Amino acid sequence: MTALLDVSELHVALGRGRKRTEILHGVDLTVAPGEIVGLIGETGSGKTTLARAVLGLVQAQSGTVAIDGREVTGLRGGALRAFRRSGTVQYIFQDPLRSLDPERTVFDTLVEGLVVRGRAELQDAALGVAQLVSLPLDLLPKYPGELSGGQRQRVAIARAIAVDPRLLICDEPVSALDASTRITILELLLRLRESRDIGVLLITHDLGSLGGVADRVVVLYHGRVVETGTTEEIFLAPRHPYTRLLVTSVPSIRDEEPPDPELRRALRDEVRGLAATSADSADIPQITGA
């Protein structure tokens, strides 16, 4: 099966002149249609830069990003605008209030990306996606400010779905939500990948939240993929020291004893050692499973 998203040997540098810094040092990542891939990394690891490169918002130094077999890395000008306008890739942000236009009703938000065909057709489209995300129809005439956090995130997802994307990039989609709302949004993502065969790249700093959601996990550390594997492999048998540090840091209600501080301290020191050397060499070991 060809990958829906295929990132290969991607190098991205940001900044100008002497301040130019390489953020991504040769990243490989794939997402198949209908697959949910978790991208995990701490603040500053490069996960948002990677997402922006997939959207064509930042230029790659080298390497490729291909979507549905079509390379988007080299697109410029009109071709790039056409790619963005096609809606193939849609982005869901952590804080939907900031990504929704406060002066646009839910209805107008849902249909804004559709090529105008006629009132009746727009109505059908809006009702269709609203139902798909279980958004109560009486919310359609309301403004984002009148909705709860979970409802807003549903609107953001519905708007993204309305243009029939192939790939959804979700950047911390549930971090700002309450536990029970979080569940309904994650269940919605699971449903969408089933019914629409959409690929999802789920970006988060919270490794624990990927359990039961992601099929595979990609661990990004200092601009490099240090480990990939199925969610079970990563959670139950992590191999890279950074992944092991992450897994032993997540508190669990099933632990008899709190995680061993000594083990974590040893892992932390090991990982810090890796970070110190990573600035001038590419020696962070990479581990690839599944």
Residues that bind other proteins (CB under 8 A): 42-43, 178-180, 182-183, 186, 205-209, 211-213, 231-232, 235-236, 245-255, 258-259, 261, 264, 268
Which of 46-51's residues contact partners 24+ apart within 8 Å by CB, and which partners?
A: 46/12, 46/220, 46/222, 46/223, 47/203, 47/220, 48/171, 48/203, 49/12, 49/14, 49/23, 49/24, 50/7, 50/10, 50/12, 50/24, 50/220, 51/91, 51/169, 51/171, 51/201, 51/203
Cβ atoms within 10 Å of 30's Cβ, excluding its own: 19
What is the smallest separation between the CB atom of 226 and other proteins, expressed in angstroms? Answer: 14
What is the smallest separation between the CB atom of 88 and other proteins, expressed in angstroms? Answer: 28
**Sole residue written with tokens 């830069």:** 49
Tokens encoding 134: 């279980």
What is the smallest separation between the CB atom of 174 and other proteins, expressed in angstroms? Answer: 9
What is the smallest separation between the CB atom of 199 and other proteins, expressed in angstroms? Answer: 19
| Cβ proximity to other proteins, 4 vs 210, nearer residue | 210
| Cβ proximity to other proteins, 187 vs 197, nearer residue | 187
| Cβ proximity to other proteins, 80 vs 183, nearer residue | 183
| Cβ proximity to other proteins, 212 vs 273, nearer residue | 212
What is the smallest separation between the CB atom of 288 and other proteins, expressed in angstroms? Answer: 20
Q: How far apart are CA 97 and CA 111, in angstroms?
A: 18
Measure the CA dihedral 87/228/73/280, to 10°.
140
| Cβ proximity to other proteins, 96 vs 165, nearer residue | 96
